Protein backbone atom coordinates (compact mmCIF):
# COMPACT_ATOMS: atom_id res chain seq x y z
CA UNK A 1 0.00 0.00 0.00
CA UNK A 2 1.03 3.65 -0.34
CA UNK A 3 2.59 5.39 2.63
CA UNK A 4 -0.20 6.42 5.02
CA UNK A 5 -0.89 10.08 5.63
CA UNK A 6 -1.74 9.72 9.32
CA UNK A 7 0.35 7.96 11.97
CA UNK A 8 -1.19 6.51 15.14
CA UNK A 9 1.34 5.29 17.68
CA UNK A 10 1.37 3.04 20.67
CA UNK A 11 3.66 4.41 23.40
CA UNK A 12 5.53 1.90 25.55
CA UNK A 13 7.73 -0.36 23.46
CA UNK A 14 7.05 1.69 20.34
CA UNK A 15 8.11 5.28 21.00
CA UNK A 16 9.72 4.90 24.42
CA UNK A 17 11.61 2.27 26.40
CA UNK A 18 9.86 2.38 29.76
CA UNK A 19 10.72 -1.12 31.05
CA UNK A 20 13.42 0.03 33.52
CA UNK A 21 11.08 2.45 35.30
CA UNK A 22 8.15 0.03 35.23
CA UNK A 23 10.42 -2.60 36.77
CA UNK A 24 11.65 -0.27 39.52
CA UNK A 25 8.09 0.76 40.35
CA UNK A 26 6.70 -2.78 40.39
CA UNK A 27 9.57 -3.93 42.58
CA UNK A 28 8.97 -1.08 45.03
CA UNK A 29 5.37 -2.25 45.26
CA UNK A 30 6.46 -5.87 45.65
CA UNK A 31 8.91 -4.84 48.36
CA UNK A 32 6.09 -3.27 50.35
CA UNK A 33 4.36 -6.66 50.17
CA UNK A 34 7.54 -8.50 51.21
CA UNK A 35 7.97 -10.05 47.77
CA UNK A 36 11.33 -10.55 46.02
CA UNK A 37 12.14 -8.41 42.98
CA UNK A 38 11.34 -9.44 39.44
CA UNK A 39 13.54 -8.87 36.40
CA UNK A 40 13.13 -6.45 33.51
CA UNK A 41 12.49 -9.23 31.01
CA UNK A 42 9.65 -10.53 33.15
CA UNK A 43 8.12 -7.05 33.26
CA UNK A 44 8.57 -6.66 29.52
CA UNK A 45 6.47 -9.78 29.00
CA UNK A 46 3.69 -8.37 31.22
CA UNK A 47 3.20 -5.02 29.48
CA UNK A 48 0.59 -4.18 26.85
CA UNK A 49 -2.86 -4.81 28.28
CA UNK A 50 -3.32 -1.93 30.70
CA UNK A 51 -2.15 -1.08 34.20
CA UNK A 52 -4.62 -3.36 35.99
CA UNK A 53 -3.38 -6.51 34.28
CA UNK A 54 0.23 -5.37 34.61
CA UNK A 55 -0.08 -5.13 38.39
CA UNK A 56 -2.03 -8.39 38.59
CA UNK A 57 0.62 -10.21 36.57
CA UNK A 58 3.43 -8.73 38.65
CA UNK A 59 1.83 -9.70 41.97
CA UNK A 60 -0.11 -12.83 41.11
CA UNK A 61 -3.75 -13.60 41.77
CA UNK A 62 -3.26 -14.29 45.48
CA UNK A 63 -1.69 -10.94 46.32
CA UNK A 64 -3.55 -8.74 43.87
CA UNK A 65 -6.16 -6.28 45.07
CA UNK A 66 -7.68 -3.38 43.09
CA UNK A 67 -6.34 -0.85 45.63
CA UNK A 68 -2.81 -1.92 44.69
CA UNK A 69 -3.33 -0.57 41.17
CA UNK A 70 -3.73 2.93 42.60
CA UNK A 71 -0.72 2.34 44.83
CA UNK A 72 1.36 1.32 41.83
CA UNK A 73 0.23 4.34 39.82
CA UNK A 74 1.36 6.62 42.65
CA UNK A 75 4.77 4.91 42.83
CA UNK A 76 5.20 4.85 39.07
CA UNK A 77 4.16 8.48 38.82
CA UNK A 78 7.20 9.33 40.93
CA UNK A 79 9.59 7.25 38.82
CA UNK A 80 8.29 7.20 35.25
CA UNK A 81 10.95 9.65 34.07
CA UNK A 82 13.95 8.24 35.94
CA UNK A 83 15.28 6.22 33.01
CA UNK A 84 12.61 6.23 30.30
CA UNK A 85 13.73 7.69 26.99
CA UNK A 86 12.60 7.75 23.39
CA UNK A 87 14.11 5.02 21.28
CA UNK A 88 16.87 6.05 18.85
CA UNK A 89 15.45 7.82 15.81
CA UNK A 90 12.05 8.60 17.35
CA UNK A 91 12.74 12.31 17.82
CA UNK A 92 13.75 12.53 14.17
CA UNK A 93 10.63 10.66 13.12
CA UNK A 94 8.30 12.90 15.12
CA UNK A 95 10.01 16.08 13.99
CA UNK A 96 9.64 15.00 10.37
CA UNK A 97 5.84 14.96 10.53
CA UNK A 98 3.13 17.45 11.30
CA UNK A 99 1.56 17.09 14.74
CA UNK A 100 -1.82 17.51 13.06
CA UNK A 101 -1.34 14.11 11.45
CA UNK A 102 -0.15 12.10 14.43
CA UNK A 103 -1.87 10.55 17.46
CA UNK A 104 -1.05 8.29 20.39
CA UNK A 105 -3.31 5.43 21.40
CA UNK A 106 -1.90 3.65 24.45
CA UNK A 107 -3.27 1.39 27.16
CA UNK A 108 -1.25 3.39 29.71
CA UNK A 109 -3.48 5.56 31.95
CA UNK A 110 -4.05 8.96 30.37
CA UNK A 111 -2.70 11.00 33.29
CA UNK A 112 0.57 9.08 33.37
CA UNK A 113 0.82 9.25 29.58
CA UNK A 114 0.58 13.04 29.60
CA UNK A 115 3.15 13.32 32.39
CA UNK A 116 5.59 11.09 30.52
CA UNK A 117 5.18 12.87 27.19
CA UNK A 118 5.56 16.26 28.82
CA UNK A 119 8.69 15.13 30.63
CA UNK A 120 10.19 13.92 27.37
CA UNK A 121 9.21 17.20 25.63
CA UNK A 122 7.19 15.45 22.92
CA UNK A 123 3.66 16.09 24.13
CA UNK A 124 3.11 18.79 21.50
CA UNK A 125 3.97 16.41 18.66
CA UNK A 126 0.50 14.82 18.69
CA UNK A 127 -2.93 16.19 17.90
CA UNK A 128 -4.72 13.62 20.05
CA UNK A 129 -3.48 11.50 22.97
CA UNK A 130 -5.70 8.62 24.08
CA UNK A 131 -5.01 6.54 27.20
CA UNK A 132 -6.25 3.19 28.34
CA UNK A 133 -8.81 4.85 30.60
CA UNK A 134 -9.94 7.53 28.12
CA UNK A 135 -12.94 5.49 26.95
CA UNK A 136 -15.00 2.52 28.03
CA UNK A 137 -12.85 0.26 25.83
CA UNK A 138 -9.11 0.03 25.29
CA UNK A 139 -6.96 -1.85 22.77
CA UNK A 140 -7.45 -4.49 21.32
CA UNK A 141 -10.93 -2.97 20.92
CA UNK A 142 -11.04 -0.64 17.89
CA UNK A 143 -12.84 2.20 19.71
CA UNK A 144 -9.70 4.16 20.73
CA UNK A 145 -8.31 4.01 17.19
CA UNK A 146 -11.69 4.97 15.70
CA UNK A 147 -11.81 8.00 18.01
CA UNK A 148 -8.24 8.92 17.12
CA UNK A 149 -9.15 8.82 13.43
CA UNK A 150 -12.12 11.09 14.06
CA UNK A 151 -9.97 13.58 15.98
CA UNK A 152 -7.39 13.58 13.17
CA UNK A 153 -10.06 14.01 10.52
CA UNK A 154 -8.74 10.88 8.83
CA UNK A 155 -10.30 7.99 6.97
CA UNK A 156 -9.12 4.54 8.11
CA UNK A 157 -7.47 3.81 4.78
CA UNK A 158 -5.32 6.94 5.20
CA UNK A 159 -3.80 5.81 8.51
CA UNK A 160 -1.52 3.24 10.10
CA UNK A 161 -1.54 1.92 13.65
CA UNK A 162 2.07 1.45 14.78
CA UNK A 163 2.82 -0.72 17.80
CA UNK A 164 4.80 -3.51 19.39
CA UNK A 165 1.95 -5.70 20.61
CA UNK A 166 -0.85 -7.69 19.05
CA UNK A 167 -3.33 -5.46 20.90
CA UNK A 168 -2.17 -2.60 18.65
CA UNK A 169 -2.52 -4.71 15.53
CA UNK A 170 -5.98 -5.98 16.42
CA UNK A 171 -7.19 -2.49 17.34
CA UNK A 172 -5.90 -0.97 14.11
CA UNK A 173 -7.08 -3.71 11.79
CA UNK A 174 -10.55 -3.77 13.34
CA UNK A 175 -10.73 0.01 12.89
CA UNK A 176 -9.76 -0.38 9.23
CA UNK A 177 -6.25 1.09 9.32
CA UNK A 178 -3.01 -0.38 8.05
CA UNK A 179 -0.78 -1.82 10.76
CA UNK A 180 2.93 -1.76 11.52
CA UNK A 181 4.53 -4.16 13.97
CA UNK A 182 7.57 -2.98 15.95
CA UNK A 183 9.45 -6.17 16.72
CA UNK A 184 12.04 -4.30 18.81
CA UNK A 185 9.46 -3.61 21.52
CA UNK A 186 8.01 -5.62 24.37
CA UNK A 187 5.13 -7.52 22.85
CA UNK A 188 4.44 -10.06 20.14
CA UNK A 189 2.49 -9.98 16.90
CA UNK A 190 0.37 -13.05 17.66
CA UNK A 191 1.41 -14.12 14.13
CA UNK A 192 -0.84 -11.49 12.60
CA UNK A 193 -0.16 -10.27 9.08
CA UNK A 194 0.84 -6.60 8.98
CA UNK A 195 1.34 -4.02 6.23
CA UNK A 196 4.65 -2.79 7.66
CA UNK A 197 7.35 -4.22 9.94
CA UNK A 198 10.05 -2.41 11.92
CA UNK A 199 12.93 -4.44 13.36
CA UNK A 200 14.59 -1.31 14.77
CA UNK A 201 13.15 2.05 15.87
CA UNK A 202 15.19 3.72 13.14
CA UNK A 203 13.27 1.68 10.56
CA UNK A 204 10.18 3.82 11.19
CA UNK A 205 11.63 6.95 9.57
CA UNK A 206 12.43 4.83 6.51
CA UNK A 207 8.96 3.32 6.41
CA UNK A 208 7.18 6.63 7.06
CA UNK A 209 9.36 9.48 5.78
CA UNK A 210 8.18 13.02 6.37
CA UNK A 211 7.94 13.64 2.66
CA UNK A 212 4.99 11.26 2.54
CA UNK A 213 2.95 13.79 4.50
CA UNK A 214 3.78 16.84 2.43
Residue 214 has pLDDT above 80, yes or no: no
pLDDT on residue 34: 95
Domain boundaries, the chain: 6-17+86-213, 19-79
pLDDT on residue 47: 87
Catalytic (active-site) positions: 10
pLDDT on residue 112: 94
Which CATH topology does 6-17+86-213 take? Rossmann fold (3.40.50)
> CATH code for 19-79?
1.10.150
Residue 20 has pLDDT above 60, yes or no: yes
Find all residues with CB under 8 Å of 80, minimum gap 6, and list them. 18, 21, 25, 112, 115, 116, 119
Q: How far apart are CA 14 and CA 165, in angstroms?
A: 9
What predicted TM-score, i.e. pTM, was given to this entire model? 0.93
Residue 166 has pLDDT above 70, yes or no: yes
Q: How far apart are CA 9 and CA 6, in angstroms?
A: 10
pLDDT in tens, 39-81: 999 999 898 788 899 999 999 999 999 999 999 999 999 999 9
Question: With bands split at pLDDT 50, 70 and 90, how would you rate the model's confidence at 211?
Answer: low
How much is the mean pLDDT over the chain?
A: 95
Domains 6-17+86-213 and 19-79 belong to one CATH topology? no
Phi, psi of 31 (to 5 degrees): -60, -40
Amino acid sequence: MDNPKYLIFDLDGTLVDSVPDLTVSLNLLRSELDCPPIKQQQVSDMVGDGVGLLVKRALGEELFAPALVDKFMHIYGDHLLDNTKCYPGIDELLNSHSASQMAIVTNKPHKLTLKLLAGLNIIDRFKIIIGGDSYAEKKPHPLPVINALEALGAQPQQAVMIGDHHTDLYSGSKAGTATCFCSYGMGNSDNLTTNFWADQPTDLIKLFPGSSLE
